[in-house]
Structure 1
Amino acid sequence: MSEEVTYADLKFQDSSEMENIKEFDQVGVKVYLTLKIEMEKLEKLQNFKDKLQNNVSLQLTYNMDSLKEIRNLSSTLQEMATKLCYELYQKEPEHKCKPCPEKWMWHEDRCYGEFKKYETWKQSDLICSIHNASLVKIKNKSVLEFIKSKKFYGYWLGLSPSKDRKPTEHLDKTIISSDWFTRNTSDLNGGMHCGYIYGSYVSYDLCSNEKNAICEKLDNPVKIESILMNEESNGRM
C-alpha cells in the first residue's frame, strides 16, 4: 500500500524549506557583512599605506633638497675660505692655511716646488714623483704668467723628450704645444733632448745634462678651521 501525502505533510515540508532558506539567507547576510567589514578594513589599510608612502616620499624629497642646500652652502663656504686664505698667503707665504707643503708656491689650484739640485731630466722627474708631483707643464695663460713672474733660469720642464734638438722659442708659444706629455722616457741616454725654461724662453739640451727642476701638483682643500682659528687669534690680539 502506497503512502499517502497529506496536506499537512506538504505544509510541513514547505515550512522546513522556508526555514532552510531563512537560515541560508541569514548566513549569506553574515558572510556579506563580514566581507564588507573586511573590505572596509582593507581599504583603510590601503589608504594608510598610500598616505605613509606619500609622507615617506615627501620626506625623502625634503632630505634630498636639504642635502643639496647643504652641499651648496659647503661649496660656497669652501670658496670663501680659499679666497680668504689666498689673501693671507699673499701677505704671509707660509700662513698655516696654505694648502701646499712648506716652501712650495701656491697658484690657483696647484702647488709649485722649486728644487735647486743639478740633476738629469730623468732624475728631476723622479724627484717630482717622490713628492707626488710632476715636472711643470704650462698649458694656460694664467700658469704662463705665474711661471714667467718667477724668472726661472735653467729648470727642466715637463715636455716630452725628443731625438732632435728643437730651436729655442718664446714661452708663450708652448701653451698650445702638444708636447706637454712626457713620452719616450724609457731611453734618455741616447742623445735625447729635453726642454727647459730660461727666463721667458724654452730651450732644449741633452736630457743627460744637469739642471734644476720645478715640480707641480694639485693643492689640498683649504682647511676652514685654520681660517677661523686665525680670525679668533687676531680678535684676541
Structure 2
Amino acid sequence: MCRFFFNCLPSSFCMPSMSEEVIYTDLKFQDSSKTENAQEFGKSGIKVYINFNMQMEKLDKLQSFKEELQSNLSLQLIQNMNSSVKIKNLSNMLQEMATKLCYQLYTKKIEHNCKPCPRKWLWHEDSCYLLRREYKTWKMSEKECQALNASLLKIKKKSVLDFINSHGMNYIWLGLSPTENPINNKYFDETIISSDWLINTTSDISDKMYCGYKYNDYLYYTSCVETRYYFVCEKLANPVKIENTLSD
C-alpha cells in the first residue's frame, strides 16, 4: 500500500506536492507494465504448451505408424520365407521326378537328350564314367582324365564296383595315390571307405613307385611306369534338365 503525505496550509485544501505526484505516476506505470508482461508471458506459455502437445501427438502418430510398418514388414518377410521354402521343396521334388524319368528314358536310349553326362559317357547314380579300353601307364591315364575335367576311377561304393563289373572292365587303373610301399592284394569291401581314395597327384613318378588297379573284386598294385592297363575316368553328373525329359 502506498501512503502519501500532504502539506496542508491552514484554511486551504490539502494538495499533494509535485514530487509526490511523480512518485504516484511512476508506481502506477510500473504496476501496469508488470500486468502487461504477465499477460504476454501467460499467452506465450499457453502457445508453447499447445505447440508441445501438438508435437507430442504427431510424434505418437509417427511412432504408431513406424510400429505398424515394422509389423507388416515382419509378416511379409515371414510369408516370403515360407513361400521360398515351398518353392524350394517343389523345385527339389520336380528335379527328383525329372531325374527318375530321365533315367528310365536313358535305359531305353543311352544318348537321350535328358542324359546329364557328355556323349559317350555312361551315367550311373550321380556320376558319369568314360570307359577307355586303351593300354596306358598310370600317369598317362591320369593326365587324360584331367584333360576331361575328370579323375581316375574311385570305387567308394559297392554299387560302383558292380556297375564297372557289369561292363566287363578289368585291369583298370584306379584313382589311388602312388606309393613306394604297396599293400598286398585286398578285397574291395575292405578298401571302399579307405582314405587312400583321396589321391595326391605327383608330377614325378619314379620307376620305384606302385599304382593301384582293379581286377575282378580285388585291388592290386604294380609299377606305375612300366605297366600299361585300361582306365576309367569319372566326374559328377550335371543336374537333369527338366525340359529335356519331355523331348525325344
TM range (shorter): 0.7 to 0.9
Matched, 1:17 2:34: yes
Selected match of 1:215 from 219, 229, 233: 233
Q: Secondary structure at the match of 1:3?
A: helix
By how many angstroms is 1:15 displaced? 4.1
2:138 equivalent in structure 1? 121
Inter-partner Cα distance in structure 1 for 2:137 and 2:78? 59
Partner amino acid, structure 1, of 2:97: M
RMSD: 2.3
Whole-Å separation in 2 of the counterparts to 1:176 and 1:229: 39
In 2, the alpha carbon distance for the partners of 1:128 and 1:115 equals: 10
Q: Residues 112 and 13 of structure 1: is their aligned pair in 2 closer, same or farther, counting only changes over 3 Å?
A: same
Aligned counterparts of 1:46 and 1:179: Cα–Cα separation in 2: 65
Identity of aligned residues (%): 54
Kindly report which structure 2 residues correspond to 1:133-172, keeping only aligned pairs within 5 A, or say none. Answer: 133-172=150-189
Amino acid of the residue matched to residue 246 of structure 2? L
**Secondary structure of the structure 2 residue equivalent to 1:153:** coil
Confirm whether residue 60 of structure 1 aligns to residue 81 of structure 2. no
TM-score normalised to the size of structure 2? Answer: 0.83
Alignment of 1:228 with 2:209, yes or no, is: no
| Structure 1 residues not aligned, in runs of 5+ | 231-237
Q: Whose radius of gyration is greater, 1 or 2? A: 2
Partner of 2:97: 80
Moved more, 14-23 or 82-91: 14-23
**Would you say how many aligned residue pairs link Structure 1 and Structure 2?**
230
Residues 112 and 15 of structure 1, relative CA distance in 2, 3 Å threshold:
same
Normalised by the length of structure 1, the TM-score is 0.86
201-210 vs 216-225, which deviates more? Answer: 201-210
Task: Report what 1:3 is aligned to.
Answer: 19
In 1, Cα distance between equivalents of 2:220 and 2:33: 121
Separation in 2, partners of 1:10, 1:177: 112
The runs of 5 or more residues in structure 2 that have no matched partner are 1-16
Q: Deviations for 1:27-78, whole angstroms, at most 9, x for unmatched residues? A: 1111111121122112212221221222222222222222222122111211
Partner residue of 1:183? 200
Q: In structure 1, how many angstroms separate the alpha carbons of the residues matched to 2:220 and 2:27?
A: 129
The structural deviation recorded for 1:92 is 1.7
Distance in 2, matches of 1:83 and 1:228, equals 13
Q: Please identify runs of 4+ aligned residues in structure 1 that moved more than 6 A.
A: 6-9
2:19 is matched by which residue type in structure 1? E
Amino acid at match of 2:57: E
Query: Cα offset for 1:184?
Result: 6.6
Contact 1:151-1:200 within 8 A present in 2 as well: no
C-alpha separation in 2, matches of 1:59 and 1:124: 56
Q: Contact between 1:137 and 1:159, CA under 8 Å: does it hold in 2? A: yes
Q: Assess, with a 3 A threshold, how the Cα gap between structure 1 residues 193 and 13 changes in structure 2: closer, same or farther.
A: closer
